[in-house]
Chain A
């Protein structure tokens, strides 16, 4: 087992912000921590990273207590920033040095990642007249480019465990794809990643195992595919020629949404969908699309967090 978070509990006064959170990462890949704002994701990540003390529980990495200052851990925090007045190269070398990287190796990594993230112009000084050089400071960079520099800081030491808190927030589609490709590369290299995000499609794209938190409590946990299978194929997407609303009502099915092109219907079990399809054929209604699929993570998330909130 690579990472074990066992029974983590954090309180601020009487308020429990993280309530007995446990999860483990056994194989390389991406583990997702999901939750609404204030659910306890960042608190959990900070506890994993040893920044916050906590009342109960323990965190181990490869069988030993996790200490990010000695283990090779990379971290991209949710709220990002750099030293505004210092040059980018100085900052990169500083953070590499804090990871005990030799200067030569640090420079090689900086060169690689600068090219990969397309920020060479900002990392290396451009020559001006009279042999003067222009060094970029962080405050002269756009938000997206600052985000690239921060990702570079997290990746410089080639970490075994990479913790990414909302890695794609605020990025344009081009840079978002660039970040995704880098995350994919890290997965292929056999790295362990923990990711927190509000973008459910991103989680579905990368993550195998998830934990959904709500107000500090774990409301759902497990392998994403297994969870989805557990729900069954309950979403029916149907496109036909003609009005089929009377038939849907006749079967007592719940209509989730309707667009000019498509019906989204919730079915209790797959057999109901088969019966509906048989009926449409009998009625000789041309069926253009008939898709039966599991709920999306978005739906599961809304359902789980909504249910817990309703119960409370």
Chain B
């Protein structure tokens, strides 16, 4: 595969992760458990969709340079599931507040180090996006960490719900740090981080917060993967069916 194809796929992967996660979070808007937290989760959704737009715009530029016309919207709205490269974790349903919080926490704990790395990487566009997104991810991590602790160490019910959320989501966390070919290429080119190093940092972050939250760090090793190469869970199809409805029903329109 050519360098430009690897780069394109890598950028799309970064974009798809935050679009799908942001979309999921935005399903909470208007339905949050506390008004202040409705605002907070919507704000995080907004940050993530903003990051997605930056990544997609870059991916579209790369595509156009290769003579294949694309826009941020054609990339988001006109690809089917097998072309989406987001991690499986991003597309998992919201479930209750515990599951949404834990999903965000797992992601943010990964994104802070990923974005910090991109910010000093060799690709100037990704470095600029990474630097901006890093600041947002730091806030998302702090917010979600506080909630993991609050729910883990809150009431018997909230603790039980966190344990259940952990049971549902843990198997999707390994994919965050299991590199696929375009990530290996990015690491080699000094554009993206070495995921095995990021994994160590991530585990430490999770363990520290779990300690405070009274949650047990799982020993299960078996992990689901495939999302980053377009093999998804059943959840993604529904997200796309809903998200892409207007663009599919009325093709070629300006909105």
Tell me, yes or no, whether A binds B. Answer: no
